[in-house]
Structure 1
């Protein structure tokens, strides 16, 4: 239960950070959030950084798949 909560919170923070980054282009948001949560929970900090990496990788992979799909439909 606690582990699930950890991942849910980390993923929500990652999604919010990535959304703000998409709107502003400001990479500093990730460092700011990392610093804030790291001051209270190193475990949450690591989960957040992992969630950001996973979400970014997911976005790149989905974009590539869309390109490949478009080329097939082309």
Structure 2
């Protein structure tokens, strides 16, 4: 992938996710992808990849944060945390 393609896809993914968080519109990235796909399938694919990576990373971080909170709660109560 060219650096220009990666930069544009990355910037669009960041902007889209920021708007998704503010509006609660969890399907916005598909609408943006449709706009991109009408003129550049290559950019559409790179953009969707960037969005998926970011959303997956956020989900994993939320999972780990929850896991840590459960471990801390288990340690405070003296019991074993749920697995």
The alignment's TM-score, normalised by the length of structure 2, stands at 0.74
Residue 28 of structure 1 deviates from its aligned partner by 4.3
Q: Give the Cα separation in 2 of the matches to 1:25 and 1:50.
A: 20
Give matches, 1:1-74, under 5 Å: 3-74=2-73
* Per-residue CA distance 1:14-72 (angstroms, 9 max, x = gap): 11111111111224422321122112211110011111111110010000111112222
Larger Rg: 2
Unaligned runs of 5+ in 1: none
Superposed CA RMSD in Å reads: 1.7
Unaligned runs of 5+ in 2: 74-83
Higher helix share: 1
Q: How many residues align?
A: 73
Between 1 and 2, higher relative CO (CA 8 Å, sep ≥ 6) is seen in 1
Q: Give the Cα separation in 2 of the matches to 1:41 and 1:5.
A: 13
Q: Give the Cα separation in 2 of the matches to 1:73 and 1:5.
A: 44
The alignment's TM-score, normalised by the length of structure 1, stands at 0.81
